[in-house]
Amino acid sequence: MLSTKKIVITAVCIVALTVGIFGGRYIISVEKYKKTIKEIKIGTVDLSKISDGTYTGSFDAVYIAAKVSVTVKDNKITNIVLLNHKNERGKPAEVIPEKVVEAQSLQVDTISGATNSSKVILKSIENALESAKS
């Protein structure tokens, strides 16, 4: 009887320890995600300084990530292809590339309900355009 009690207590301790470890890791990753999203700042890019070409950019915010291909011709963004979009409920933000091409600017409204995905996609586009300057 005593050995059965020790086995149960040991099993409960192992389960509690495992839950604590995985729960702690999850909480840390959620905090990192929130911090990353909060710190996203979308700048302006001077298209007159971007040479014709196709540029790739990406941004990873733990739970949301995006990779884009941006084509520039005659100092205008002519096409943006969303190559990859890891998201939770952010699928509606996939219209952001069209809005950027239409506005010829990164200063477009985010999509309500998909704000974080919108920011990540915009940052990916900015990173692609910034890579063109190098």
CB 111 within 8 A of CB 50: no
Q: What are the beta bridge partners of residue 58?
A: 67
**Helix 115-133 with 2-38: angle, nearest 10 deg:** 60
- What is the distance between the alpha carbons of residues 72 and 23, in angstroms, rounded to a whole number? 45
Local confidence band at 90 (pLDDT 50, 70, 90 cut-offs): confident
CB 40 within 8 A of CB 61: yes
**Helix 115-133 with 96-103: angle, nearest 10 deg:** 50
What's this model's pTM, rounded to 2 decimal places?
Answer: 0.83
Summarised one tens digit per residue, pLDDT across range 92-123 is 999 999 999 999 999 999 999 899 999 999 99
Summarised one tens digit per residue, pLDDT across range 2-60 is 688 888 888 888 888 888 888 888 888 888 888 999 999 999 999 999 999 999 999 99
